[in-house]
Structure formats: C-alpha cells, structure tokens
Structure 1
Amino acid sequence: MTTLWFVPPVFVKIETDGGRHGCNNAMAALEQLKRWARRGPRWHKAWTLCLSALEGDPIDRHVVRKAFVAAAKEAEMYLSPE
C-alpha cells in the first residue's frame, strides 16, 4: 500500500460532532469519504482516485487532492484552512 501525502492538508467537517479534520494523505481522505452521507459524482471520482493511489497506481498527488477537495465541496463538508 502506498501513502500519497497532501500538502497542504484538506480540512473537512466531522459529521458526528461538527469538528474539523485535516486530511493529509489518500488513506485519511478515503476514511472521510466513507463517512459522508452525500455521495455525488465528485465523491465517486475522489473515491476511485484514492483507491487507485493506495493500490500503487501512478497518480499525481495534486490530482487526488483536487478531486478530494471537489468532493468535499460537493458534499458541503469542505472547510477552508485556518
């Protein structure tokens, strides 16, 4: 399993308590995606890219991060960095 790091981290809401979580790699992003109730086309794209990256496919980290940000915005889970 390959770790694909995000710089800077992507901050998202935590649905259960309204807190915030900084995702700094594809595994953390995948864990957050699992928890979201709203799953649109951008969610599916981010899910696929995160899985592919973790399987070792040669995917640029910026592409995965950008897809995760788009999914977070689509699901209204994105929080701007402090």
Structure 2
Amino acid sequence: MATLWFVPPVFVKTETEGGRHGCNNARAALEQLKTWTRRGPHWHKAWTLCLSALEDDPIDPHVIRKAFVAAAKEAEMYLSPE
C-alpha cells in the first residue's frame, strides 16, 4: 500500500476543542475523513481518491490534496495554515 505524501500539509479541525491536525498523506486524510459527519460530494470524491491511492492506483498526490481541501472546506473542517 502506498502512502502518497503531499506538501504542504492540510490542517483540519479535530474533535478536541481548538484541536488541529495536519494531514500530509492519503492515509492521514482518509483517517480524518472517517471522523467527519458532514459528507457531501467533495467528501465522497476525496474518500474515493484516498482509497484508490491506498490500493496502489497511480494517483497524483496533488490531486488527492486538492480533493481533501475541497472536502474539508465543504465540511467546515478546514483550517488555514499558521
């Protein structure tokens, strides 16, 4: 299984009050997506891309990052980098 790293990391909210997590690979993004309750079309696209990447499909990490950012914004989980 490939991890597919991307730079810069995408910062998202966590369940902890004021918490933030920096995702910099498909596996970490998928773990965060699992925890979100708001799941729209961008969430589904990011989920599918992350799963495919972890199954060794040749996906550009920048495509995964872009989809994850869109999903995070859609779910109101996105935090701008400090």
TM-score by length of 1: 0.97
Residues 10-25 of structure 1 correspond to what in structure 2 (within 5 A)? 10-25=10-25
Residues 1-82 of structure 1 correspond to what in structure 2 (within 5 A)? 1-82=1-82
- The structure 1 segments of at least 4 consecutive aligned residues displaced by more than 2 Å after TM superposition are 15-18
**Number of residue pairs matched?**
82
SS in 2 for 1:12: strand
Percent identity of paired positions between Structure 1 and Structure 2 = 88
For 1:25, give the aligned amino acid.
N
Deviation at 1:60, TM superposition (A): 0.5
Deviation at 1:6, TM superposition (A): 1.2
TM-score by length of 2: 0.97
* Distance across 2 between alignment mates of 1:55 and 1:3: 10
Ranges in structure 2 where 5+ consecutive residues have no aligned partner:
none
CA RMSD, aligned part only? 0.7
